[in-house]
Amino acid sequence: MAERQVTIDGQTYVLPQPFLVLATENPIEFEGVFPLPEAQLDRFFLKARLGYPGEEDELAVVLDQQDGHPLDRLQPVVSVAELDRLEASLGAIYVDELVRRWTIKLVRATRELPEMSIGGSVRGSLALERASRAWALLDGRAYTTPDDVEHMFTPVLGHRLVFSPTFIAESRGRSRDEIVNEVYGRCVAVAPPPDLADGTGAHGAARWTSPS
């Protein structure tokens, strides 16, 4: 995935841009399915849980299929050129040095916790920083804040962390997201976010709304 190319019978093929790999996992029917190795999981940028839709959304799904499948009516909503411009604009999102350093310290903290067998990798640091910028862009901002990093911590790092057997036993009955949220709290205790009260963090509005 990271190389954006495939090799078949000794012949290498460069994949077109944009290139994405989407993998789905059903929470049931696991027979014959094997967990991915940690190194392969680490190559996935983020993990999202869909769950069941709300009542109104589920009703909309039923109504939308009264006269055929909606895939038959599917139309593009964005062009490849527009996606390229959106990806290019990500590089213009401002990340303050304090936020970037805190992002790295947060990932490094996962490697120091006794609850972890394997903490976040350098690839995890790269993904968390980029995902925070992307979240800021989607929120209509040209700068990131510590809140962006916190928001993306679980989606980006949750599937990369390997818990110790003792911590798994202690956390029995809880969802993985709940466990990762607890891990985030313990990481923050090791690596506190930038001080927000004196203008060196997200609540220092002057610092974040007019970056230069």
pLDDT given at position 50: 84
Contact assessment for residue 38 and residue 118, using Cβ atoms and an 8 Å cutoff: yes
Model confidence at 140: pLDDT above 90:
yes
- CATH topology (fold) of 93-209: Helicase, Ruva Protein; domain 3 (1.10.8)
User: How many percent of the chain have pLDDT more than 90?
Assistant: 61
pTM: 0.82
- Please state, rounded to an integer, the average pLDDT across all residues of the chain: 87
Distance, in Å, from the CA atom of 62 to the CA atom of 75, rounded to the nearest integer, reads: 20
In DSSP terms, which residues pair with 7 in a beta bridge? 12
Model confidence at 22: pLDDT above 50:
yes
Contact assessment for residue 136 and residue 179, using Cβ atoms and an 8 Å cutoff: no
Q: At what angle do helices 146-157 and 97-110 cross, to 10 degrees?
A: 30
- Which phi and psi (to 5°) does residue 109 adopt? -65, -30
Mean pLDDT for the stretch of residues 105-113: 96
Contact assessment for residue 179 and residue 129, using Cβ atoms and an 8 Å cutoff: no
pLDDT given at position 176: 86
- The total number of residues shown for the chain amounts to 212
How is residue 48 written in tokens? 């999202």
Mean pLDDT for the stretch of residues 138-163: 94
pLDDT band of residue 204 (cuts 50, 70, 90) is very low
pLDDT tens across 80-96, in order? 999 889 888 999 999 99
* Among 139, 136, 183, CA closest to 159: 183
